[in-house]
A and B are shown apart, each in its own frame.
Chain A
Amino acid sequence: MLALRIFVYTIVVLMLLPVLITLPVALTTVPRISFPPTGIGLRWFVAIFGDEVLLKSIARSFWLALGSSTIAILIALPCALAIQRGPLRGRTLVETVITGPRMIPQIVLVLGMLVYFEQIALAETFLGLLVAHLVLTIPFAFRTLLVSAAGLDRRLEWSSAVLGASPVRTFLHVVLPQLKTGVIAAAIFGFVLSFNNVTLALFLSGIGQRTLPVEMFNRMYVGGMTPVIPAIAFVLALSGVLLFVILDRTVGVYRYLAGGS
């Protein structure tokens, strides 16, 4: 058991190391990647707010993630409810169509989108990017909400109807509260999934329309990376850990993520 414990903690350290290393590298005061840091200061964290391009890409990523996770829930929730209890016979077919995008490599999917979007004038537009992200977030929201919808207590709805509530009122006051955890989980996971996605935006966003991950990718790949990138990376990692802890304490990470994959 001791050998296992040593192994597990070695891996824990290795998993945290690449994230933690961005902090000392970002704290340096010289404009290049170096370790150990030359001088200690917050220069590069402050520089984030002076970097117009970076700020714009952060805003674009934020709205994209917010939009695609919200719309995904609005589209996936009725679908999950209908599939869960509907008289439709094509249930398997619908499920296959909806979970399809998860089955094929993203790089293949995005190349197809690039070709198709060029034909229908969606290429290099924000709308095109949003639609592409929806293809990614809808299947995820659908799986999560389906798990949630399976746990609905129909007797409560019947009671509500018997007592004279309209279908809309029943939905808002009886069904939706029962689905709350599922909706929160789907929203947060959808946001994270969309915010962190690189491949789709890498192919589909035009010049000057980059999302934050693509901007980071570009500065790493093309070169000329200053410690502002490790700085923003550390901030991102910190918010990731924070979201994780919040989710784990409220919804339970294992339940929803394992059910989703």
Chain B
Amino acid sequence: MMKTAKGAIPYLLMVAPAVLLLAVFFAIPVLELLHVSLLTEQPSPRNPVPAESLVNYARVFGDSFYLRMTLNSIMLGICTTIAVLLIGYPIAFYLTRAGSYERTLISVACLLPMFINVIVGILGWYILLLPFGVVQQTLSSIGLVSGPLLVLRTFPALVGVLTYEHIPFAVLILVASLQAIPSEKINAARSLGAGTMRIIRTIILPMTMPGLVATAILVFSLSTSSYLTPILIGANRVPVLPLAIFSYGTELLNWPLAATLSFILLVLVAVISYAFAAAMSRATRRGAWEIV
């Protein structure tokens, strides 16, 4: 079975460009960022090689401002994830049972944010939610609100727009996961007298649990690290980690602090995702026994 070294060389040459390019332009920048996060000050012509220490991490962990910012980021991620799952699951369920024409229409609508520029979606919501924008005028014409509508710069508006952006991921993953359920299982349950709610609770939900977990992790990590929506819809009223990373990284030119916040964000997302996946896999394994 062992191939000779000579036979492996063409394969190595085929793999090399991709691996080298990503090693140089992905791995090195990330390692470099880790190094920068340890510097005590921004490298400058006067001080090109600053001393290394954990002072930035100490500063971030000792400041309640950054703590609140981190909590905001996590809350934003959790709220968005829950909203995306609550909306995406019924849609995916409906899609698997819809006719061809209906399926295309709903797919286009629900996958649209993936195909158009994220700025276009944000711009649309921005126009809709302006203090004297479309939503305010509609609501006040039927007498629901009076005066300017103050939702644009709030946490719920942020969750709403992020939910809009991430629904496509949920729909894609959940449709695939719902389609994988063998219809014999459902027919068997039905012929044995199970009602629709019971079938959903005991068959469909447990069998799509891996899809739900995958969606939750993806949406959580994307929305927690999202930058554009918080800056354009929240405009610094809802401070989150990516906003600080951008502002220290490009405007205030404090790379060490920006790098420190980046790694905190990275570790935070990774740890929460991993813990959630581990907890859920234990739960689903138990669920799997019930449906066998």
Contacts and interface: CB of A to CB of B under 8 A. Distances in A.
Interface of A: 4-5, 7-8, 11-12, 14-22, 25, 33, 35, 75-76, 78-79, 81-83, 86-88, 94, 97-98, 100-101, 104-109, 111-117, 119, 131-132, 134-135, 138-139, 142, 192, 195-196, 198-199, 202-203, 213, 216-217, 220-221, 229-230, 233, 236-237, 240-241, 243-245, 248, 253-254, 257-258, 261
Contacts of B11: 82, 86-88
14 contacts: A11-B87, A19-B124, A20-B124, A78-B14, A79-B19, A82-B15, A107-B227, A108-B225, A111-B245, A113-B25, A116-B25, A220-B123, A220-B232, A236-B120
Interface in B80-132: 87, 90-91, 93-94, 104-128, 130
Contact of B94 (A5, A14, A116, A236): A5
B94 A79 contact: no
Interface string B255-266: 100110011011
A151 to B, nearest CB: 17
A135 B22 CA distance: 6
Contact of A87 (B3, B90, B116, B269): B3
Nearest to B112: A15
B21 interface: yes
Contact of B26 (A15, A100, A105, A257): A100
Contacts of B87: 11
Contacts of A138: 18, 21-22
B33 A115 contact: yes
B108 A244 contact: yes
A75 B29 contact: no
Contact of B120 (A4, A19, A245, A257): A19
Contacts of A241: 108, 112, 115-116
Given A115-B33, A220-B126, A134 B25 contact: yes
Between A12, A18, A100, A213, the greatest number of chain B beta carbons within 10 A of the residue's beta carbon is seen for A18
Given A78-B13, A112-B29, A198-B228, 20 more contacts: A8-B106, A11-B167, A16-B109, A18-B164, A21-B134, A22-B120, A22-B127, A35-B137, A82-B14, A87-B3, A87-B8, A98-B19, A107-B262, A108-B30, A115-B29, A203-B249, A213-B118, A236-B116, A236-B120, A261-B169
Interface of B: 3, 7-8, 10-15, 17-19, 21-23, 25-30, 32-33, 36, 87, 90-91, 93-94, 104-128, 130, 133-134, 137, 164, 167, 169, 172-173, 175-176, 218, 221, 224-225, 227-228, 231-232, 242, 245-246, 249-250, 255, 258-259, 262-263, 265-266, 269
B32 A115 contact: yes
Contacts of A142: 18
Contacts of A106: 225
Contact of A98 (B22, B32, B225): B22
A7 B125 CA distance: 20
Contacts of B122: 220
A199 B118 CA distance: 11
A50 B140 CA distance: 38
Contacts of A139: 22
B18 A75 contact: yes
Closest 10 A/B residue pairs (Cβ)? A18-B124, A105-B225, A112-B29, A112-B33, A78-B14, A82-B14, A86-B11, A240-B116, A87-B3, A79-B18
A94 B19 contact: yes
Contacts of B12: 82, 88
Contacts of A20: 124
A190 to B, nearest CB: 13
Between A12, A15, A79, A88, the greatest number of chain B beta carbons within 10 A of the residue's beta carbon is seen for A15
Between B29, B32, B121, B221, the greatest number of chain A beta carbons within 10 A of the residue's beta carbon is seen for B29
A75 B24 CA distance: 15
A116 B29 contact: yes
B138 to A, nearest CB: 10
Nearest to B221: A105
Contacts of B133: 35
